[in-house]
Amino acid sequence: MRATDILMEEHRVIERVLDALETAVRHLDGQPPVRPGFFLDASEFISGFADGCHHRKEEGVLFGALVDSGLPKDDGAIAMMLDEHEQGRAFNRAIRDGARRLEAGDAAAARPLATAARGYVALLRDHIAKEDEMLFPLADEMIAPERLEDVLRGFAEIERQDAGVGAVERFHALAARLEEEAAALGR
């Protein structure tokens, strides 16, 4: 399996949570109300899986291999991806803050929470499309076959050390719970 295939499979899991987050935002003021903990759980998924595992693989391994293969780091595609990762982190902080405020009874937090969640979803959908359609095919062409084993080992090390044993499975299960909860809102 290619390193980019692993990242694209992770994109599909992230997109499931984006779908659930969109649904929850649409039902934020509905009956039954969305529990604030839904957004805290989504924020945990974003921090732990989308950013903590997936983006760490990109930033810590794939982008380095691309730079070693001749792609510039400080401008162009890599710089744009890094900037978008930072934007995603800012949106996630706002989601977490809004959810905590909502959980504490601050009804006015619903609007900024919804704005942050919508912003995160839009950013990530666009970001994923750019990676899947442009950056990853470029990586498949540029990175020498002998370097790909290093990339795969780097991915495995991030999962083992940074995410922790069983963490990927735990985040996949969290994604499934968020999907189920969001689906129940529409019934």
We report the CATH number of the domain holding residue 49 as: 1.20.120.520
Give pLDDT, residue 163: 55
List average pLDDT for each run of 10 residues in the chain, which is 187 residues long.
Answer: 94 98 91 90 96 93 95 92 97 98 95 97 98 96 92 91 72 96 86
Structure tokens at 15: 């997109």
Nearest to 134 by CA among 1, 49, 8: 8
Predicted TM-score (pTM) above 0.75: yes
Q: Which residue range forms the structural domain that includes residue 150?
A: 3-185
Give pLDDT, residue 186: 73
The DSSP result for 50-79, as a single string, is IIIIIIHHIIIIIHHHHHHTT--SSSSHHH
Give pLDDT, residue 187: 66
Distance from CA of residue 58 to its chain's centroid? 11
SS3 121: helix
Structure tokens at 97: 């803050």
Residue with tokens 């803050």, as numbered in its chain? 97
Give pLDDT, residue 184: 92
Distance from CA of residue 173 to its chain's centroid? 15
Q: How many domains does the chain have?
A: 1
Instruction: For residue 14, give Cα distances in angstroms to 11, 45, 47, 53, 143.
Output: 5, 9, 11, 11, 25
In angstroms, the CA 86 to CA 80 distance is 10
